[in-house]
Amino acid sequence: MRQTFFIGILIVGVVGGIIYFLWTIGAALYEDWVMGKDVNKIKADQQQRRKERLEESRKRLDNGCEHVFGQTLGGFPLDACRKCGLQRERPAGPCDHVWKPANEPVPCSYCEKCGKRYVSPTIRDDPHSESS
């Protein structure tokens, strides 16, 4: 009778151990799975956002102008289109500047929308130009 009791304890112990072991593995796998799902979701979100940004910048530049970037005269932002004044990439800040060259002794340009003045960094030392 006592022997049966001990065997019973042993079986319960072993079975309990196995269940605990399986549970630990299951929990770890579940955690991995949840984390993997999160990572995939974050990646998908990032891709989606990148796509939206690209689409947005494509639409932004799609104004009928055959943009000419990087071939500007003095006093005109290098990354702005010589023809329509739009910058290749949307500048930081509230205004999406549209640059128009100004007819001034110092080569410079002004934003049509917000009036910001642009002067080439090379001639910024000129006392007539204001730094921005």
Closest separation in Å from C-beta 71 to Zn ion: 12
With 0-12 / 13-18 / 19 or more C-beta atoms within 10 angstroms meaning exposed / middle / buried, residue 80 is buried
Task: Mark residues 37-66: x for contact with Zn ion by CB under 5 A, - for none.
Answer: ----------------------------x-
**d(C-alpha 115, C-alpha 118), whole Å:** 9
Q: How far is CA 94 from CA 53, 87, 90, 97, 123, in A?
A: 17, 14, 10, 9, 26
> Counting contacts by CB under 5 A, is residue 108 touching Zn ion?
no
Strand runs (DSSP E) across the chain, as ranges? 99-102, 108-111, 117-119
Q: Tokens 């932002």 appear where?
A: 77
Closest separation in Å from C-beta 93 to Zn ion: 8
Residue among 47 and 63 whose Cβ is closer to Zn ion: 63
Which residue type does 1 have? M
> Counting contacts by CB under 5 A, is residue 100 touching Zn ion?
no
Closest separation in Å from C-beta 113 to Zn ion: 4
Q: How many residues bind Zn ion (CB under 5 A)?
A: 11
Residues that bind Zn ion (CB under 5 A): 65, 67, 81, 83-84, 95, 97, 111, 113-114, 116
